[in-house]
Structure 1
């Protein structure tokens, strides 16, 4: 009895001590969470300034120096039982303060913790932790928010000043640290540089824009008279189904056109079209004094004809439009945008707003990237773990309840790091798209970028094994338990980032997911016509060309021990059996092999088209080996890295090429070369509306005359191969550093309008592709740049005078361009990339603002700040300054 009492007493004492320790740890966590954290980039040329980046194992021997500073304004903290978790897209190579160490956890998640030499955080003092990162940090969004601190049995807390989307709250302005290399030839966009860049774009008389439709029609004849719509329109929408009618009525109402007397008739008559105009989406439009008539080749044609009338609607002044006649047909059958909701979730409301704008600008393919390593975003009946676990991120290092925090989401699930579309949500999106003539192409990315699915199915496996249902547990398992491969994906996930293509259970999983999503499409009345396989980046980054083995080091490369690095699935027994049986040559061919296998499942479901990122099918002989009728490839080689030539290979192998070049149409890349802008930039330092507008997607070499490479250098381009032509054009929005809906819209708009122009309309200055014709930037002058510049001037004025106001009416949080400015002879001169915009200036550091009048050009002295305002006056651009 005494022994029992002593045991109970000991347990009580231990529980009390544990509780006391937990309270102490929580106290430490709470204290550190109130520290002020500052991150500053110190040197992007570290390799040239004494740091042996190669020895540190940096890709291409490139690294940068930064400093993390923690300021303690409270009581001293001496406890060593704590860790700060933080997100970094750049691997940490070295910590130059022996009181601290950094450990890579998974993906971008790292852990900073004290060493035995830690002496504490003194009161009212700062501690600096110098670090060396791989690559460079050129834009403020290279630094991610929501650093958080935790300890044993303590609740994690975000360090307060990092819990923000205003990164300037904890990141020092990069200042001069905006060049990738010392000989970087890009131009920093100061106010003066912008003024020079915008100087050839003049403000046109609004009357000269009369009758202009966006995107530009194939053929239009504008008449002298105007049609008054102030008394409203009488819509005959009998050629459209009910949902499409409602979509059109909603757009008329949004733009302030009421129901009234002016007749607007619609009809479908395919016989009215011949030759190149007899295609899906073609229409004829006649706007006269007494009525307007739209004749469509099909229902899509009628819909686009109506959008052309809506394009003419003014946003201010009299409600009149030009009388005109137009014949029009789309340039490409595929005109799309890709939206990534896997890395960070974007809400249903933002998706519906995107579909509205796609419809307004005649885009017809919505490529919905629903899954990635960081998140699974669609409910699949029968597989609840996909959303119960795979759609959530939180601080659970065991990942039994959620995925690890990534990409600035912090320890909690109350932000866009978490989220998913229910089955009902997805069906609603499909119906909304159908009403707007838009095909939804779901992408379930595999076999790489699949960690959310893999970890979810591991959780399912564990649950069912515990229930004694081992056969059921293995039905959809995506990992081979024998696979001990040491591999790292491009975003630094281990082997759990790859679905195993050698398992029957992986095929079961794909078949299940296709079937469930197809059923949603059937219920929505929008058939699943195209399945996107994904297929990209199934490789080990440490076996890439920028690294070299320590036993045979090569100059200019990161020196690592490559002997312990494996290709994905190299040690999977299931895959080794397949290789021995001759089903696949080696593990490198598994991605393309799996693409063929998935195409068989896609075809079995009655789906005629499979789509993939090009590298996922790189080992396929040609398109004929796939089971579906057609194979689309998103082509994403940067032009200056040889894309002007390699694009031909895909088309000549029978693939339908959807041009998706990162250096032109990746909308997650920065708008301009300025550290305060946001986005990834591995393919180019900027892509603005003018650059996208100048893109020649059907003659890739031509772009060498009108563009530069990532470092601002001219390049040459030619191909000796035949070019059958592109199937389509797609822009891409990846969401690694696009965490909120407003950030998403800031990156997409108004650049999407330029994408739509090139997808719908082939300009006169775009040359026909000719094998063997070489284009050299700065040397050859084959492109009619005067025609290009004149075309852009027209388009830029349409954006400034009309299109931005329509985005305002739709509630779109688009990017307002920062003005260009200079002071000449004491007078302020200002311009914008879109003439017609309202510009304001301040002479008292932003306390008061005045509207700029270019005719007056005010006399100023000292520093002057400038900004643009949205047409509705509710939002403003970033502020920039110029000095007298």
Structure 2
């Protein structure tokens, strides 16, 4: 066979299957500590390769595959695994390889770091390269459903450790969890507005909108009115109809405490609806509240009522990561529609990361020509190497970017919905896409002899020999060097061009997000100990710590800064760079400087040391690891503190403790819509009474600084989220719960008080009030709001129902009452709508599912 024939044959015929043997390697005698596993934790996987085609004897081939866990040892002498970069590894034959006989299956056991608790840990699109062949994707792995190439996670392997106290999501456990949520009568939720207003008074009447509405607008810019009427039209409302709706502004109508942007008054009467805005944003929100009362389809009757409302937080945010995997402009626009519908006003746009740069910057074409593309190019001069299941080609969401025209369209769209776009170009860490792109630019210009231009935007010190491993397993090229003037030139250029686009769109750049997170060497973390230490513990990995460096420690340019006394030590470089970036941003008229809190933690002093008018931090400390205390410390230093806690507000975490769910889980094993709804953002310690840590255990939390929370943001990171459908599944509907908490303070939320301690043992939270509020919210979603997501074309997650069989009778329920439930007793061939009153008798294997509000999509099917 030629090299290409070998690659083609293996790609077409090689069956790939992963089977988890154990997640508890240290407990079962694996040498996790000796293999340098962090926290001495490792798992064992059986990788089986089955040759379903003709025999292959060649040894000149490699399988490139994606693993989000570092592979520590291969237990088959015929093969070896090599880490390339990030999650990309190679599997290749050794001299002892005996070939793949026709029909042969070969098992390759390997030990990986940590554990694999969800099937989405296994990434798709492994590919083969033989000699100089064109890379070919292995067909058996070219699937978004990991069950195509993995076996189910069985036994206790869904547990992180044998002592894991989480509750596995089953039909029975879901039924028990949903048992306190009853189906409310349609009339009971007719007057419910999401997010909940400050005051709602039902006045006993009804209004039919069957003949449409007619809007008299004296408040809104044309673009905002068009945004609102377009949404109404999607519900089936004729906006050239009969019923009058009047919009106007009158700040004098508002009490002193409600004189804030976004406040409104809504008065629905039999003959007319009036919306009074404190400002045009308030008038827009008043229209959204009117739409919240509407249904979809021909029947359009709403109750008469009076509403007085104002937002809880000025900052009500959603962050979307398009760096790890790209999400289309259309998906972003749909997200902005829903943010506006639920009164969220800050779109935090994470536009770059190690795995991709996603916005066009005039004058720096390499950022998108190379940095936005992923493909198999070992030189990385035409694209970045594949990551996170993107495979060898660029024809998927691993690649992509927004042109200047796309970005302008997003800005215009957001402006018409009262949403500020906050761009984040992450630095100095998580910057590999930028660094590699600027290295390609350097090479191009250096070869042309223009060294001044080549050096202008270079981002890495060529003499830096630092041995560093980042959180996603990249090396020093993950970092923009903060000690180089050319790095600041790059920042100045990028901010200038982004600001120009914002100005052109009529949305001045008001906030610059610096990023700043995770600028560290994970090998110097607390999960490792020196291999030569005399005082070892069993629960840390052994490592030669003398061979590890802090970022930039071996950069002569950074060493010079330390020698001159400009920076105290290498850990302070990230904050030092942030101060200089804030100077650039302020010089462009950008009022707010924003960052993830860990990037500023080594700075001494308060927020006033920055050049910006205001400095905001997205606080992403996990609450059960001290985040409930640390947040208030930041606020006390003068930072605008935005609650962004991953154990409650990260939408890349799984919805439930079920290996079939999608997501990362380092912060929590599950965050469903109900958990996000029950988050108390202003009294962070309170959450210790109503939720558990990632192992299902209680924890203790109390605040120690007298300070307040500025805002709240829900985050979607995209490591496991490759398609628009997956993206919307992860975001919706739980982001609506985040909108509820950012706008409305629940009656069950206690006032934050310094020193008050909360835990699973305290009884300080009114849980009956919390359940009652959730029941109304969940019914409104199930009976009304999910249908609007259908009308908007949003691929939201349909909740998996709960069920049990008692005395031969099937009982079913769901977390969002109002959705249709179905069951099957013949393996899914036929489905019957569940009717609790009918008391259906069942026997044998029973499958269950729920249906989307429009009847077009289904939840996962589970069995009893």
Q: Do the two structures share a fold, i.e. TM-score over 0.5?
A: yes
Cα distance in 1, alignment partners of residues 211 and 31 from structure 2? 73
2:218 counterpart of 1:252 = no
Secondary structure of the corresponding residue to residue 703 of structure 1: helix
- Report Cα offsets for 1:85-113 as digits up to 9, x if no partner: 00000000000001000000000000000
Aligned match of 1:808: 790
Shift of 1:857: 2.0
Q: Match of 1:17? A: none
Residues 1:704 and 2:688 aligned together = yes
Structure 2 partner of 1:637: 621
Instruction: Return the alpha-carbon distance in structure 1 between the equivalents of residues 52 and 619 of structure 2.
Output: 52
Q: What is the alpha-carbon distance in structure 2 between the residues aligned to residue 316 and residue 191 of structure 1?
A: 33
Q: Are 1:277 and 2:258 an aligned pair?
A: yes
The answer for the alignment partner of 1:168 in structure 2 is: 147
- Deviation, structure 1 residue 175: 2.2
| Structure 2 residue aligned with 1:181 | 161
Match of 1:795 among 777, 799, 821: 777
Which of 166, 179, 199 is 1:199 aligned to?
A: 179
Give the deviation of 1:317 after TM superposition: 6.6
Q: Which residue of 1 aligns with 2:642?
A: 658
Deviations, residues 192-242 of structure 1 (Å, cap 9, x unaligned): 110111111111111111211000000110111001111110012231111
2-structure distance, mates of 1:719, 1:510: 37
| In structure 2, distance between residues paired with 1:731 and 1:62 | 30
1:627-657 superposed Cα distances (whole Å, 9 cap, x missing partner): 0010000000110001111111100000000
In the alignment, structure 1 residue 531 sits paired with structure 2 residue 531? no
1:721 to partner: Cα distance: 2.2
Give CA deviations for 1:252-280 in whole Å, capped at 9, x if unaligned.
10111102111111111122222221001
Aligned partner of 2:199 among 205, 219, 222:
219
Aligned to 1:595: 578
Q: Are 2:82 and 1:110 aligned?
A: no
Give the secondary structure class of the aligned counterpart of 1:237.
strand
Q: Give distance in 2, aligned partners of 1:862 and 1:211.
A: 43
What is the number of residues matched between the two proteins?
858
The question of whether the paired residues in 2 share the 8 Å contact of 1:630 and 1:656 is answered with: yes
The match for 1:7 is none
What are the equivalent positions in structure 2 for 1:752-771 lying under 5 Å apart?
A: 752-771=735-754
* 1:232 alignment partner, one of 177, 201, 212: 212
SS class of match (1:236): strand
Q: Is the 8 A contact 2:808 2:842 kept in 1?
A: yes
- Could you report, residue by residue, the CA deviation over 1:352-377 in whole angstroms, capped at 9, with x for unpaired residues? 00000000000000000000000000
Unaligned stretches of 5+ in structure 1? 1-22
Deviations 1:681-715 (A, max 9, x none): 00000001111111100001111110000000011
CA distance in 2, matches of 1:124, 1:286: 73
Which of 355, 369, 376 does residue 350 from structure 2 map onto? 369
For residues 594 and 702 of structure 2, the distance between their equivalents in structure 1, rounded to whole angstroms, comes to 27
Query: What is the deviation of 1:78?
Result: 1.1
Question: How far 1:555 sits from its partner (Å)?
Answer: 2.7
Asked if 1:751 corresponds to 2:731, the answer is no
Alignment-derived partner of residue 826 in structure 1: 808
Is the Cα–Cα contact under 8 Å of residues 218 and 249 in structure 2 kept in the other structure?
no
1:858 aligns with 2:840: yes
Give the match's secondary structure for 1:752. Answer: helix
1:771 CA drift (Å): 1.0
Partner of 2:73: 94
Partner residue in 2 for 1:20: none
Q: 1 CA distance for matches of 2:468 and 2:93?
A: 28
Tell me, yes or no, if structure 1 residue 688 matches structure 2 residue 669.
no
Shift of 1:153: 1.4
How far has the Cα of 1:381 moved from its partner?
0.4
Task: Tell me which moved more, 678-687 or 174-183.
Answer: 174-183
Paired position in structure 2 for 1:876:
858
- Secondary structure, counterpart of 1:731 in structure 2: strand
The offset of 1:316, in angstroms, is 5.4
Find the counterpart in structure 1 of residue 7 from structure 2: 29
CA distance in structure 2 between the aligned counterparts of 1:369 and 1:720, rounded to whole angstroms: 32
Contact 1:175–1:675 at 8 Å: present in 2 too? no
- Displacement of 1:315 in angstroms is 2.7
The residue that corresponds to 2:557 in the other structure is 574
* Residues 632, 709 of structure 2: 8 Å contact kept: no
What's the counterpart of residue 710 of structure 2? Answer: 727
User: Could you tell me which residue of structure 2 aligns to residue 15 of structure 1?
Assistant: none
How much does 1:554 deviate? 3.3
Distance 1:318 1:75, change over 3 A: closer
Asked if 1:841 corresponds to 2:823, the answer is yes
User: What is the aligned counterpart of 2:608 among 613, 617, 624?
Assistant: 624
| Residue in structure 1 matched with residue 245 of structure 2 by the alignment | 264
Matched, 1:319 2:303: no
Where do 4+ consecutive residues of structure 1 move more than 6 Å? none
- The residue number in structure 1 matching 2:404 is 423
What per-residue deviation string (whole Å, max 9, x for no partner) do you get for residues 124-177 of structure 1? 110000000000000000000001110221011111010110111101111222
Match of 1:646 among 627, 630, 633: 630
Query: What SS does structure 2 have at the residue aligned with 1:104?
Result: strand
**Residue 12 of structure 1: aligned partner:** none
Query: Residue 42 of structure 1 aligns to a residue in which SS?
Result: strand
For 2:282, which of 301, 312, 332 is the aligned residue? 301
Aligned pairs for 1:149-168 (under 5 A) are: 149-168=128-147
| 1:10 corresponds to | none
Could you tell me how far apart the structure 2 residues matched to 1:829 and 1:237 are? 50
Query: Counterpart in 1 of 2:481?
Result: 500
1:370 aligns to what SS in structure 2?
Answer: strand
Structure 2 counterpart SS, 1:597 = helix
CA distance in 2, matches of 1:810, 1:240: 23
- Deviation of 1:394 after TM superposition, in Å, equals 0.5
Supply the distance in 1 between the matched residues of 2:149 and 2:814 (Cα, whole angstroms).
Answer: 30
TM-score (norm 1): 0.96
Question: Matched residues in 1 for 2:472 and 2:190: separation?
Answer: 49
Q: How does 1:467-616 map to 2 (within 5 A)?
A: 467-552=448-533, 553-616=536-599
Task: Give distance in 1, aligned partners of 2:362 and 2:70.
Answer: 38
C-alpha deviation, 1:720, in angstroms = 2.8
SS of 1:578's partner is helix
Could you tell me which residue of structure 1 aligns to residue 64 of structure 2? 85
CA positional deviation for 1:385: 0.3
Aligned residue in 2 for 1:714: 698
Q: Specify the alignment match of 1:16 in structure 2.
A: none
| Unmatched segments (≥5 aa) in structure 2 | none
SS of 1:863's equivalent in the other structure is: coil
Describe the superposition over 1:741-800 as per-residue Cα deviations: whole angstroms up to 9, x where unpaired: 0000000000011000000000111000111111121x1101001111111111111111
The DSSP-based 3-state class of the residue aligned with 1:103 is strand
- Residue equivalent to 2:32: 53
SS in 2 for 1:396: coil
